[in-house]
Structure 1
Amino acid sequence: MRGLKDKTFLVAGGATGIGAATAKRLAAEGACVAVGDINIAGATATAEHVAGSGGRAIAVEFDLSDTRSVQHLVERTIAEFGGIHGLHNVGADLSEHNLGRDTTILDTEMDVWQRTLDVNLLGYVRTIQAVLPHLLEAGGGSIVNTSSGAALGSDPQHVAYGASKAAVNHLTRHVAVNWGTHNIRSNGVMPGLVMGETQERQNDLALQQAFLMFGKTSRLGTPDDLAAVTTFLLSEEAEWITGQVWYIGGGSHLRQ
């Protein structure tokens, strides 16, 4: 894809799943990639896979809920590659202790709300605040935030998660509106049911069957499906696309 070769992209949440697949796809297109994650073993594995395929990547341990940690990730990326041309936000707290206790508004404890918003929403605020000045200094760049189909309000559970992802959609458009004329593009992707490591481990057959019933294709999603779209949005092929949040989910939501 045009405009990726020898550019540097920061994948904030690249240890597994969509983030890892996107890091690998960006590298395959000739980009340099900084793979940040709280799961440093997974981030290292992603970076090593890139290096083994002839690409350039580093792994950096960081925590979306820690501003100093986010700043270190950005500084480490610039020190290694000389700059940043794009950001892919894909991290979220999907732990059983957090997401597993996220049910309805009457039953979800405040600590779950606080943790979910601190990571899923404010974590993206932290990365954008840290990266945006460098993109502006470089004359432009691209940001792609990972939201969720849950932002469309179809899940009767996971109220905090859905609310955090709906807020990410607004954050995405906010950046596009304010800095579009400075050559900053900001878009988002809302994955449907993607069979990454977490979904494979949970193996929720009822959820999978329900998704297939409402979908308009014959299969569930894969991390590579999202990686292809995200890489396109980060590339110069999408230079006239900004402020958009695309649902990528096999047609399970038909919407404009």
Structure 2
Amino acid sequence: MEHPVKILIVEDEMIIAANISLQLSALGYEVTGIIPRGEEALEHVKQNKPDIVLMDIQLKGELDGIETVRLIHQERDIPVIYLTANADDDHFSKAKGTHPFAFISKPFKKLDLQRAIELTITHIQSEKIENSISELQSGEAFVLSDAIFVRHHEKMVKVIIKDILYIEAERNYCRIHSKDKQYLLATTLKDMDEKLPKKHFIRVHRSFIVNVSQIQEIATSHIVIGKKAIPVSKALKEELLNRLQTI
């Protein structure tokens, strides 16, 4: 099942915020809320757990954007992209101390926003994985503990690991078969095998990696997943059987 990246907009100019929300929705992202005040943003992050926060630096109210981010980071390590109409050195220096993933100066183009978000998504992995997993050379996919981010129709989408059935090699590409969709990635099966979490996946053939939890039948020379007969090489079958015995 595909889960869009969740983004919170913290912006007190509501026309700008509504416009950003429309652009994000058009790009396939899920907007968890449009919040005008830092105090409200703190509560929203706790309840809705967005993947990314778009934060206006100059917020009205007791908390400005930079202080709001500091308080958010005390509770949760979440990537932040700053929006600012005032890109002077003082603001930049203060904001830099909260380790944002990007700055966008207003007014900005849709492409600026899209690129900043995609760059942020590609960096999320290093924050989430204990032993930072390097991005695949193609930049087409990367792995979190419970999901894989893949490029699909010009945007990055999150595919939950337990919904993946198997991954099939197609020359220099890989095709991820999930319960309801397929995703073609410009990377090799070898690269995918190195990046995927071993507790969930195992390579059973030079052309196939399978999700161990999705195996329905085991025959002499193949296994069955979702009505698909997948060949198992002799060299890898013993490892597969050992893995199944330990589950």
TM-score, scaled to structure 1 = 0.28
- Determine which structure has the larger helix proportion and give its number: 1
- Structure with the higher fraction of residues in strand conformation: 2
